[in-house]
Structure 1
């Protein structure tokens, strides 16, 4: 317990976690440029991220379970409205279809 407290781990309710995440996103901490969302299985991490993505106008939520990096990149590019061009995020099969 002392170890978790020393690292700054805090047990939060879903509402307080949501409010703290929103506050951090509004004004990120200069010394901690990344916000870690951690917890046991079933603790609400995915629900928190889904809720944040619904509340934030420019947020994109992608469930990465079972996806390869190329699949994730394609989904993000599609969400961002970018045209997909041949690049490292395409599989070799997709690249050959585009070029040949």
Structure 2
């Protein structure tokens, strides 16, 4: 039994020698920023063509294409929205008839 206790520390030391260093530098990763998707910044130019059109997934995809937004947010009447600004998001407001009344970036 005594031999096992004498052997255990050397086995643990052998395992620890192969463990990766905790302070070793890894590849540098960009810090994620809320509301920013690289390459996607919403542009409101050209969105007036969608006012009065039905709020469908096809229209939403077209709006994302024109605005270059990464995120599309639908806003039906009476729907509560967060007030945080995201430069990669477009918000599409709908009337009670499900037609688009307003389009905003952010």
Structure exhibiting the larger radius of gyration computed from Cα positions = 2
TM-score clears 0.5: no
**TM-score of the superposed pair, with normalisation by structure 2:** 0.24
The answer to which structure, 1 or 2, has the higher relative contact order (CA under 8 A, 6+ apart) is 2
Larger proportion of helix: 1
